[in-house]
Amino acid sequence: MAEGRDVQWVEVTEGQVGQRVDNFLLTRMKGAPRALIYRIVRKGEVRVNKKRVKADTRLALGDLVRIPPLRLTPREAVREVSDNLRNLLAGSVLVEGRDWLVINKPSGLAVHGGSGVKIGLIEALRQVREDLDFLELVHRLDRDTSGCLLLAKSRPALLALNESLKQHHMDKQYLALVAGRWPARRDFVSARLDRFELGNGERRVRVDTAGKVARTRFAVRETFDKVTLIEAEPVTGRTHQIRVHAAHAGHPLLGDDKYGSRESQRLAAGLGVSRLFLHAASLTFPEPTSGRPVQIKAPLPDDLEAALSRARHSR
């Protein structure tokens, strides 16, 4: 981000009402990492109506926000969006409404920066879509998962969509290729999930009776010789839920380097699956303003289609 010569005073508009100060600053200060945002707020360099605030302070219509000039070192700065990523994201918008949009998220792109990730999808989109004063994730996808990802372009839309998610009025359907023959009669997995950290700080999830309630519906879409294409619908939204539930059922996802087995990795190599075979294929939600149902579908990426083709020919 280029250094600003003067302090800026920015007035909060209707679309930013209720937004947290830290998120407001992230949209205005392109390239600034969250750690730096928190630091300048804590030091009192950011003011609202000339008063000190906290990072989670909610903004009101007409508030005047003081934004200090910044000089970011290369180490601090969020990476600028490359031309390749800019073009990829521009071509990944599936459908865009007045106050929301659905992206076909590429595999390998984290939804947000942090933990060594210099730039995530949300930071990149904020750079690409400079026409938007507000842009927030409604839900998340694992870094290696591709497919439908919903974002809100206004605070009211975010609140409405979050409520739809909370009330289970949002349906998410995933496609996954798993090891072995998934039994058609097994259409539901309910197993509590607990998050923990490995010695190196990596986060994992395991089935544990002390964990949080987690439920996933499963349906067989296509059966092959040694693998099965399944449809998964998470009833709850726990981290890595589909992956851990499938592994718990004895059928880990192909390409899963966290919860896979030797057999699933062998099968993945044989079919040319070089990444997690998990794709958010469709998303249905009530439109924030009208309440009418909206259904968005994301086609299966070419690399996953190629793997299915190999599986069909190996029958």
Q: Which residues form the catalytic set?
A: 142
> Which amino acid, residue 279?
H
Check: CB of residue 298 under 8 Å from CB of residue 174: no
Of 256, 273, 300, 279, the C-alpha closest to 174 is: 279
> Which amino acid, residue 10?
V
Question: Where are the extended beta strands (E) located within 138-226?
Answer: 146-152, 171-179, 188-190, 193-197, 203-207, 215-223
- Please state whether beta strands 227-234 and 146-152 pair in parallel, antiparallel, or not at all (unpaired): unpaired
Q: Compute CA 194 distance to the chain's CA centroid, rounded to the nearest angstrom.
A: 20
220/237 Cα distance (integer angstroms):
21
Check: CB of residue 172 under 8 Å from CB of residue 234: yes
Which residues does 225 contact at the CB level (< 8 Å), separation at least 6? 311, 314, 315
Which residues does 144 contact at the CB level (< 8 Å), separation at least 6? 107, 108, 255, 275, 276, 278
> Which amino acid, residue 166?
K
- Answer positive or negative: Cα dihedral of 89, 90, 94, 99: positive
Residue with tokens 């539930």: 245
